[in-house]
């Protein structure tokens, strides 16, 4: 048993009913709505969101969603979608799923999907943990967790996205050789992530030199949050883990 509760085997998906029950017990913390949506954003949410959304229920059929894709990737908490859009342009042959409960971020992403006619992004306006158990084993080439909410107070650490259970799910979803990327501007979150991932049997930290975690790799586009942190003088840590 892990410190976050029972750890499902990394090869075994949580049965949907159990996952649903657990999600109902858990809470997603933080804001879901920020500034009021502009009229155009509101209209995009009302008229186009469904078209670009992951189906609401049941197992997710990636092939049906992205018939031409040769690989798939998943982003937790895409914010305004800058990284997801950049990755979708870098890898037009991949299919991307992004999850974000913040409606203003979803509106920004839908606007970019529509304006740039991006065929390879689908989103879930909600908690990534609702989608992860519905994806098949070893389906992903990449799993991105970029600047997760840091929850700096010790009594709130249990709200952090990096938990044994979420990492077990990421391990279940990534194919061998696939990559889990975590970025943070908070030193304690970087330490926390390494403490959880270094002993994890399914992952190997890809870094060999300090430059590997201090510098953002070329195929890792910057996020809005990261640029804001940099303007405020906080440098980020870029952690890459390979699925064994």
**Is 143 one of the binding residues for ligand SAM (CB under 6 A)?**
no
Binding part of the chain for ligand SAM, among 40-48, 147-155, 198-206, 213-221 by CB under 6 A, reads 147-155
What positions carry a catalytic annotation? Answer: 149
Binding part of the chain for ligand SAM, among 41-49, 127-135, 168-176, 195-203 by CB under 6 A, reads 127-135
What residues between 164 and 203 interact with ligand SAM by CB under 6 A?
none
C-beta atoms surrounding 176 within 10 Å: 9
CA distances from 55 to 40, 44, 45, 207, 217 (A): 24, 18, 16, 36, 33
Among 8, 13, 95, 105, contact with ligand SAM (rule: CB under 6 A)? 105
Residue 142 phi/psi, 5-degree rounding, is -150, 145
**Is 223 one of the binding residues for ligand SAM (CB under 6 A)?**
yes
CA torsion angle 202 207 210 213 (round to 10) = -70
**Shortest distance (Å) from residue 3 CB to ligand SAM:** 19
Among 149, 157, 207, 221, contact with ligand SAM (rule: CB under 6 A)? 149
**Nearest CB to ligand SAM, comparing residues 13 and 77:** 77
**Is 8 one of the binding residues for ligand SAM (CB under 6 A)?**
no
Total site size for ligand SAM, rule CB under 6 A: 23
- Token output for 192: 């926390």
**Is 30 one of the binding residues for ligand SAM (CB under 6 A)?**
yes
Cα gap 93→155, rounded to integer Å: 43
Residue 179 phi/psi, 5-degree rounding, is -125, 135
What residues between 59 and 98 interact with ligand SAM by CB under 6 A?
76-79
Cα gap 182→23, rounded to integer Å: 23
Among 99, 139, 142, 186, contact with ligand SAM (rule: CB under 6 A)? 99
98 touches 109 (CB < 8 A): yes
Closest by CA position to 143, among listed 230, 51, 199, 71: 71
Cα gap 94→179, rounded to integer Å: 14
- Token output for 200: 């994890």
**Nearest CB to ligand SAM, comparing residues 72 and 161:** 161
Among 123, 142, 146, 167, contact with ligand SAM (rule: CB under 6 A)? 146
**Shortest distance (Å) from residue 158 CB to ligand SAM:** 13
CA distances from 163 to 40, 118, 147, 196, 230 (A): 37, 32, 15, 7, 26
**Shortest distance (Å) from residue 176 CB to ligand SAM:** 25
Residue 234 phi/psi, 5-degree rounding, is -100, 125
The residue ranges that bind ligand SAM (CB under 6 A) are 28, 30, 76-79, 99-102, 105, 127-129, 146-149, 161, 223-226
């Amino acid at each position: 048993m892990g410190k976050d509760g029972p750890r499902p085997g990394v090869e075994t998906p949580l049965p949907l009913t159990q996952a649903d029950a657990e999600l109902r017990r858990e809470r997603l913390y933080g804001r879901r709505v920020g500034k009021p949506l502009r009229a155009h954003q509101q209209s995009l949410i009302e008229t186009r969101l469904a078209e670009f959304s992951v189906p609401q229920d049941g197992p997710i059929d990636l092939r049906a969603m992205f018939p031409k894709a040769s690989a798939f990737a998943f982003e937790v908490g895409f914010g305004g979608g800058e990284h997801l859009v950049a990755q979708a342009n870098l890898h037009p042959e991949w299919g991307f799923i992004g999850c974000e409960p913040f409606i203003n971020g979803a509106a920004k992403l839908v606007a970019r999907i529509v304006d740039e006619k991006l065929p390879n992004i689908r989103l879930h306006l909600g908690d990534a943990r609702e989608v992860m158990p519905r994806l098949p084993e070893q389906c992903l080439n990449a799993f991105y967790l970029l600047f997760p909410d840091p929850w700096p107070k010790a009594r709130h650490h249990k709200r952090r996205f990096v938990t044994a259970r979420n990492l077990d799910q990421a391990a279940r979803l990534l194919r061998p050789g696939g990559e889990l990327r975590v970025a943070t501007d908070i030193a304690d979150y970087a330490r926390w992530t390494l403490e959880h991932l270094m002993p994890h049997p399914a992952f190997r930290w890809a870094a060999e030199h300090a430059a590997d975690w201090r510098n953002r790799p070329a195929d890792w586009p910057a996020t809005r949050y990261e640029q804001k942190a940099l303007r405020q003088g906080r440098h980020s840590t870029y952690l890459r883990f390979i699925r064994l």
